[in-house]
Amino acid sequence: MAKKKNIKNAAHTDNSVKSKSPDMRSKVEIKQPLPQNQERISRLVGSVFIGMGVLLVAFGIYSFIRYREEPLFNPDLEAPTLDEVTSITNGDKIMVKGSAAGFDEVFVYVNEEKIDTTKLDDDSKFSYEYIVDEEGEYAISVAGVKGFPNRTIGPRSTSKIAIADWTAPSQDSVTLRYGQETNKNTFTLAGTTEGNASVEVKRGTESFGGLSDSKGNFRIEGIALDEGKNVFSIYVEDSAGNQVTLDEKIRVSYSPTGTVNGDAVVDEDIPQAAGAFDTLFGNQLMMLFGLIALISFGVSSSVVYIKNKK
């Protein structure tokens, strides 16, 4: 009985496999081998792409190495033009602008040392901002560079000087000359300070200014006065924009009926002490009259003496 049962189970299993086999075969994909010539083409294309990749990598390494090298100098190239360089500033930025037609970029030099490169725009113009870390003078120049990977560089442009000045004018370097009394409604202030500095005299909303020359001499005329005592503050600003307010105040007394002549200008040739001009003029006039009288007396005496002797 056991054998018959096993035979029956085996038959049942065989029938189950046979009933399922068509579905399983439908899910199995049978690949046909590629034709021999197609396989060769695939291998050839793959080899070509691998070779091109190796060549590109090699060319990239070569170009990088050559590009990092200093470009070859060509004296026949035209030097770029520096159109604008900040001449003097009390900040930490120096702006450099110019043009370099025919080049790809420019090298920027500060005090004969290359510090950076900058690209050109579509109009062959360039702009570069140099940050300084201390005050002083900086000689700025540029040179044009072109080519890849073999690059050439032309002559440098003419250098331009930029000055970073962070120090305000010294109060000790400022001298002021003016008269402290006047009978006119304006006065003149003269003096010395830094060269090419601006000097401003202020009282309330009123302001009067002038510029010193290259040697530092300045003169401000027509400073308005009110009757009585006038007090002014004075400010000095150098060409870089550094400003100092003097501790010293300007004090001028104005009296329309006073005896002081002139406009309160101190000048070695024009005495400005009260009544000094009138006194000096009067003394000179008296001396002149005295001299004339003395000469007249001498001539008269001589004439009388000669007549009496005859």
Residue-wise pLDDT tens digits, 11-57: 454 554 444 455 555 555 555 555 666 667 766 767 776 777 766 66
Q: Is the pLDDT of residue 156 over 80?
A: yes
AA identity, residue 302: S
Higher pLDDT, 310 or 126: 126
Which of 111, 114, 108 has the alpha carbon at shortest distance from 126?
108
pTM, full prediction: 0.60
Domain 74-164 identical in fold to domain 171-270: yes
| Residue-wise burial string across 71-89, b where 16 or more C-beta atoms lie within 10 A, e elsewhere | beeeeebeebbbeebbebb
> What is the arithmetic mean of pLDDT over 164-173?
95
176 in Cβ contact with 234 (< 8 Å): yes
Write down the pLDDT at residue 99: 97
> What is the arithmetic mean of pLDDT over 231-243?
97
Confidence of residue 279 (pLDDT cuts 50, 70, 90): very low
104 in Cβ contact with 124 (< 8 Å): no
Write down the pLDDT at residue 227: 95
Q: What is the CATH number of domain 171-270?
A: 2.60.40.10
> What is the arithmetic mean of pLDDT over 87-110?
97
- Tokens for 168, please give them: 């305000």
Q: Is the pLDDT of residue 286 over 90?
A: no
> What is the arithmetic mean of pLDDT over 79-89?
96
> What is the arithmetic mean of pLDDT over 185-209?
96
The residues spanned by each domain of the chain are: 74-164, 171-270
State which fold the 74-164 domain adopts.
Immunoglobulin-like (2.60.40)
Write down the pLDDT at residue 26: 55
Longest dimension (CA), the chain: 209
> What is the arithmetic mean of pLDDT over 137-156?
94
Higher pLDDT, 148 or 294: 148
Query: What is the Cβ-side half-sphere exposure of residue 24, based on CA atoms within 13 angstroms?
Result: 6
3-state secondary structure 223-237: EECCCEEEEEEEEEE
150 in Cβ contact with 66 (< 8 Å): yes
What average pLDDT does the structure give for the chain? 80
> What is the arithmetic mean of pLDDT over 128-150?
95
